[in-house]
């Protein structure tokens, strides 16, 4: 099971990631979110990130031109759609990139992965794991903490995705990130 630490936005967050080596980190471009960063800040942080760590760009009903800009700048390796984006929206993205697409909440025939999460992401709230359909490789998020790892492993996700549970006072916490990654990989 792979690990994604989402919502990185500071130099310290990148330093922690470079030491701890999660498989993925996430930059949030979704509008009006606490962890939202600009493309220029994401580009600055990406330049400092270990090249072996993949970057996921998180979007939620954004204008497609923002996704295209971020892709052209070479900031991200994966696109995560976290709103109610349609199949037509996904097909528009595929016109300018072949990057893998992670689609939250629904399994589109045009996405590469599904993300199961709480309907109101980033607030550390769990959802009913019984809705998970393992037909496609999937990421799981939504209020996951270190105590959930053994149960999550039984679901056989491709990747476990955390953000707020590895924070203290709204910022990434090195010790929480370390403990979480170590537990997943144990």
Integer CA distances (angstroms), 116 to 30, 87, 103, 155, 167, in order:
17, 18, 9, 12, 21
Integer CA distances (angstroms), 8 to 53, 78, 130, 144, in order:
13, 15, 29, 17
Region 10-29: what's the mean pLDDT?
98
Q: Is the pLDDT of residue 122 over 60?
A: no
Q: Is the pLDDT of residue 157 over 70?
A: yes
Query: So what's the pLDDT on residue 150?
Result: 93
Query: So what's the pLDDT on residue 24?
Result: 98
Q: Is residue 11 within 8 Å of 47, Cβ to Cβ? A: no
Question: Beta-carbon neighbour count of residue 37 at 10 Å?
Answer: 18
Q: Pick the more confident residue, 81 or 134.
A: 81
33 token code pair:
């979110």
Range list of β-strands (E), 68-112: 78-81, 101-104
Query: So what's the pLDDT on residue 95?
Result: 97
Tally of domains within the chain:
1
Region 172-180: what's the mean pLDDT?
97
Query: So what's the pLDDT on residue 123?
Result: 59
21 token code pair:
């080596």
**Long-range contacts (CB closer than 8 Å, 24 or more residues apart) made by 8-12:** 8/35, 8/45, 8/172, 9/35, 9/37, 9/41, 9/45, 10/171, 10/172, 11/45, 11/48, 12/171, 12/172, 12/174
**Residue 116, domain extent:** 2-185
Q: Is residue 153 within 8 Å of 130, Cβ to Cβ? A: no
Region 112-139: what's the mean pLDDT?
76
**56-71 confidence digits (pLDDT tens):** 999 999 999 999 999 9
Q: Label residue 120 by pLDDT band (50, 70, 90).
A: low
Taking the C-alpha atoms of residue 108 and residue 113, their distance in angstroms, rounded to an integer, is: 9
Give the CATH number, domain containing residue 59. 3.20.20.70
């Amino acid at each position: 099971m792979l690990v994604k630490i989402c919502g990185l936005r500071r130099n310290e967050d990148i330093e922690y990631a470079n030491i701890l080596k999660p498989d993925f980190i996430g930059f949030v471009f979704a509008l009006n979110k606490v962890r939202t960063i600009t493309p220029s800040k994401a580009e600055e942080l990406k330049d400092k990130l270990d090249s072996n760590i993949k970057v996921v760009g998180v979007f939620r009903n954004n204008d497609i031109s923002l996704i295209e800009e971020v892709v052209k700048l070479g900031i991200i390796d994966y696109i995560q759609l976290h709103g109610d984006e349609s199949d037509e929206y996904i097909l528009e993205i595929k016109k300018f990139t072949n990057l893998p697409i992670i689609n939250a909440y629904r399994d589109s025939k045009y996405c590469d992965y599904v993300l199961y999460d709480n309907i109101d992401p980033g607030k550390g709230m769990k959802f009913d794991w019984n809705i998970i359909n393992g037909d496609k490789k999937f990421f799981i998020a939504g209020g996951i903490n270190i105590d959930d790892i053994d149960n999550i492993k039984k679901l056989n996700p491709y990747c476990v995705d955390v953000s707020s549970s590895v924070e203290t006072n709204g910022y990434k916490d090195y010790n929480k990130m370390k403990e979480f990654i170590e537990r997943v990989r144990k």
